[in-house]
Chain A
Amino acid sequence: MTASNVSSAGPSVPSSSATGPNTKPMALGEIPLPAPVWSRLTRRLFGHRGLTIGLCLVALAVLIAIFAPLLAPHDPYFQDIANRMVPPIWHDKGTWEHVLGTDKLGRDYLSRLLYGTRISLTIGLIAALISGVIGTTLGVLAGYFGGRVDAVISYVITTRLAMPVVLVALALASLTGGSLVTVIVLLGLLLWDRFAVVSRSVTQQLRDAEYIYAARTLGCSRAYILVREILPNITGALIVVITLEMAHAILLEATLSFLGMGVQPPLPSWGLMVAEGKAYMFFQPWVIVIPGVALFLLVLAINLLGDGLRDLNAPGGRN
């Protein structure tokens, strides 16, 4: 089998198959995207309503997180004891000074909410990346080598699935003294199961593909095949898992912080804001409604994005 055969036997994704063993790797930027391809891409991206909504909301959240210092009207940590529990603007006693009101320490709720986006997104993203590296490594090895390697790794996955995540995370966060960094690391070390399951099954399907045979025949090393042939072809599936696990990590962080074992005060974590507002929720329900809605919208947006991407990957229909 010749080198030209190798690249033509590649999968249908052009950017990843162009790098057959003997072809010089080509950066994406070097290939100008023809106009029809571009318009088809935008039509696919924006033709899916859920995906559009998810994409816009996530982009908005990212912008808020980046520009929080510019957008926030007040210092999120500044305590104005004279102005505690000011209701939001739609309330009779609301003021434009504090659009979403203030909390029990007189801190501006809108500013805390905006800064809270940073915490949720950072935790979601880094935890998903850590768990992605762990899970994908395990899954690809299990799927590619099969046999005994697969048996051992599958056993590890089964064991991890049987561990009660919330309880274990609570106990460990409490022992290590909950902080932003420990929460991120803990979630990253706990949430890799879906990455492993998905990358294992996708790799199993790829293992016997012709271009993998070709690479093996050409004498490519195992590491080369795993990193340059398998990995690029499972990224589509992995991106979907990344979004799901980001949402999962954000919800778990909020839960841990709500239970007092996650991010510690005075950081403006949304879960912590709900916990702090809990004592006031009977008479001023907005103290828990506002951070809860923010959390709900962010997780919803990330899930919609993930569902949409999955539909793009598998054009058969939404299921």
Chain B
Amino acid sequence: MGIFILRRIIVALSVALTISIISFMLLHLSGDLAASIAGPEATVEQVEQIRVDYGLDRPIINQYLDWLGGALQFDFGRSYYYQSTVVDLIVDRMPITLTLGGLALAIAVCVSIPLGVVAAIRRDTWVDRLALLFAVVGQAMPSFWFGLTLIVVFAVTLQWLPAAGAGNWQNFVLPAIALGYYATPAMMRLTRTGMLEVLESDYIRTARAKGLRAGSVIFKHALRNAVIPVVALAAVELGFMLGGSVVIESVFSLNGLGQLAWDAISRNDYPVVQAVVLIIAMFYIVLTLLADIANAALDPRIRTR
């Protein structure tokens, strides 16, 4: 188990390093940063001046190594736009995105697991079809549009909840629903498939033959095993949701990491863009690492792979 964890951590670290290289190179090679920062009206001299001022004239390897050296000490440089360091900006905005992601995950788990269990128990009945419809609709719904629709219905027409801002908990309800629905279909389907497999297994037949009550069989014996892969998927989905929160934050005017990244992208504030991409990727890497380890701890067969 120790060796398994160690190997996974080494892979995770090198993936993080690779991503830092890729995100850095992509930003520096896919366009002329100095020209983008200077804007369309700048003269050639001004562009060259900016290139020197921002250190963009040095070899790209040196630029990367400097940046990496800083990043390892949580120093991502200064924002081109705001009068503050990138780290301060990120620390400032992070709680909103984490709250949103956490709430969205909670909603997704609370909806998808019961729904998946019921769909599996009542297989091929109207409940199962309804659950499938719910998943199919969720997969096809553009999240930005779902968010806008929630605003029109619940904030404007019914006036139950606020449409924008991050003042108190009510501000997070609609965005969390919009983001959570995105993760629900996959988790629901996995719960359903897992439950169907487990319910047909020998030990469930034994438990039933022993005369255990149906509730005990389903919750104590079946769900506990069916839910293992769902927990792993939930961790991965949380990583995806943190990356995808840029859309929801923009729709609901939430000032989180995603909004910060979007603003930075439209203002050519590259130190911020790089840092946010790396941090979101790190969250994903850590979450999948934890999911892998949890899975291996619960299911010894995985460790030998």
Contacts and interface: CB of A to CB of B under 8 A. Distances in A.
B104 interface: no
Contacts of B131: none
Interface in A157-189: 158-159, 161-168, 170-172, 174-177
Interface in A246-287: 247, 251, 254-255, 258-261, 271, 274, 278, 281-282, 285
Interface string A281-319: 110010011001001110110011001000000000001
A155 interface: yes
B288 A176 contact: no
A162 B27 contact: no
Contact of B152 (A171, A282, A300): A282
Contacts of A299: 139-140, 142
Contacts of A174: 265-266
A159 B142 contact: no
Given A166-B247, A171-B265, A247 B140 contact: yes
A247 B136 CA distance: 12
**For A159, A281, A300, which residue has the most chain B Cβ atoms within 10 angstroms?**
A159
A259 B277 contact: no
A292 B262 contact: no
A292 B15 CA distance: 37
Nearest to A186: B30
B1 interface: no
Contacts of A177: 31
Contacts of A300: 136-137, 140
Contact of A271 (B16, B31, B142, B265): B142
A164 B101 CA distance: 14
Contacts of A251: 142
Nearest to B264: A171
A264 B116 CA distance: 41
Interface size class of B (residues with CB under 8 A): 35 or more
Interface size class of A (residues with CB under 8 A): 35 or more
A296 B265 contact: no
**For A174, A288, A299, A303, which residue has the most chain B Cβ atoms within 10 angstroms?**
A174
A28 B35 CA distance: 55
B11 interface: yes
B243 A176 contact: no
B11 A255 contact: no
A297 B137 CA distance: 9
A165 B243 contact: yes
Interface string B127-148: 0000000001101111111001
B288 A162 contact: yes
Given A175-B36, A176-B31, A319-B189, A166 B243 contact: yes
Contacts of B22: 159, 163
Given A159-B22, A172-B26, A282-B152, A167 B144 contact: no
Contact of A296 (B30, B145, B148, B193): B145
B49 to A, nearest CB: 21
Contact of A319 (B19, B151, B193, B261): B193
B32 to A, nearest CB: 9
A162 B152 contact: no
A177 B16 CA distance: 28
B38 to A, nearest CB: 14
Interface string B240-259: 00111011001000000010
B63 interface: no
Interface in B10-59: 11, 14-16, 18-19, 22-23, 26-27, 30-31, 36
Contacts of B262: 170, 259
A296 B243 contact: no
B136 A274 contact: no
A158 B15 contact: yes
Contacts of A319: 189, 192-193, 196
Interface stretch (B70-78, B166-174, B220-228, B279-287): B279-287
A261 B149 CA distance: 22
B276 interface: yes
A164 to B, nearest CB: 3
Contacts of A261: 265-266
Given A172-B30, A281-B152, A296 B281 contact: no
Nearest to B153: A285
B266 to A, nearest CB: 7
B60 interface: no
B273 interface: yes
B247 to A, nearest CB: 6
A167 B136 contact: no
A170 B189 CA distance: 30
Given A159-B22, A278-B148, A255 B243 contact: no
Nearest to B273: A171
Contact of A155 (B11, B26, B239, B265): B11
A142 to B, nearest CB: 15
B173 to A, nearest CB: 19
B156 interface: yes
Contacts of B18: 155, 159
Nearest to B18: A159
19 contacts: A159-B18, A161-B284, A162-B19, A164-B284, A167-B246, A167-B277, A167-B280, A170-B265, A174-B265, A174-B266, A175-B36, A259-B144, A259-B247, A259-B262, A260-B266, A292-B148, A296-B145, A299-B140, A300-B136
Given A163-B22, A319-B189, 6 more contacts: A164-B280, A164-B284, A259-B262, A271-B144, A300-B136, A300-B137
